[in-house]
Structure 1
Amino acid sequence: MRPYLSIQLAGAELWLLADKAIYYPAERALLIADAHFGKAAAYRRLGQPVPHGTTDDNLQRLDALLASYDCDRLIFLGDFLHAPESHAAGTLAAIQAWRDKHHDLAITLIRGNHDKRAGDPPPALRMDVVEEPMFLGPYALQHEPDPHPDFHVLAGHVHPAYRLYGRGRQRLRLPCFYVLPRISLLPAFGAFTGGMNIDRAENSKIYVVGDGAVWEAL
């Protein structure tokens, strides 16, 4: 299976990527929701023995996406940094080194609820930081999944996940894209973010991601 699935949404083509992001080919834009950089560092500051290396993992995945898709711009749909403690020297140094490798890439952050608490990224990262909504083609790019009267909303915040059921008691919980008539939700990109189970609503579509592929849940 291919590592993306092309869909038509609000009159434009979007590619839903297996690595929990969206590529918008007409705008040569990569959309990422809920990276939560520095979340593990924030938890370690609180004394929780959580894994190391999540920032490097997220950055390596971003590198792979930028190498695979022709991108002029990278747009974060909120929650770039997790908390004030995410401004740890090691976390910011890793992100800065990554940014220096992509110095010509235009990057925009739409502030999410965690960004408002964590504070904006350092100016050296050269990110345009804006409030929601940001308009791109037929879409209102937001963090919060609130409807817009004139544009289809692409949002994050919820970290949607969906349960697939097999025979007997078999079940599998996977991140998903959740497409509704007026709002579509991206899965959380971050490797240490968790997820919220969703129930299928009327006139909705669910696209799950797993094992390097994207497919519609029937």
Structure 2
Amino acid sequence: MTDEVKLYGIEVSPLVARVKIALNLKGINYDFIQEDLDNKSPDLLKYNPVLKKVPVFVHNGNPISESLVIIEYIDEIWKGVPIMPKDAYEKAQVRFWAKVIDDKCHPAVLKAILSHGEEQAVAEADEQLQFLENELKVKGSKFFGGDKIGLVDICAGYTIFWVGAAEEALGIELVAKDKFPKITEWSDNCINCQVVKDGLPTRESLVAFYNRLFGKAE
């Protein structure tokens, strides 16, 4: 019996991209259903009645919400390429860093973007990103997950692509390469992975999104 796999989302969402990358790593075929968040579909409201948000992952009719929950589910159901480590302590560490990224790094970076690069907001983002920079220095590996992409790499993807598109749209620098050489190197390594590329929106679509967000659309 063939698995029926669907992913409800929007192209420019970094949380949706996380799930796409996880599916690509596992080599899973899926149907992507583009949502309009201003006019949410009956399926989205049915499958995620509590949060009414994307991404929503549906496997053989069973819906799962929240990107990290979805990724762990994917890793448990489809073995193949592992996303999470097997060792209990290492798994706990991975979950810790995923939480740091979601609770600390991403909000600070988003604040810096929405402030149009205001000095204090950028300084706060720098402080949070320094934790990731230091972790990469300690690991001394190609990815947070070692030689292969893992959960932390997937979660940290916001600093790969979305920040760069925001920088282009705003004409400012938010993640300075001289401040974050390890993050820059890591970002390049991620971008050069086909499974990551295939899970990301186009740079043009993201720049256009930010232009609309900042009222710069033509």
TM over 0.5: no
TM-score normalized by the length of structure 2: 0.28
Name the structure with the higher helix share: 2
Q: When you count strand as a share of all residues, which structure comes out higher?
A: 1
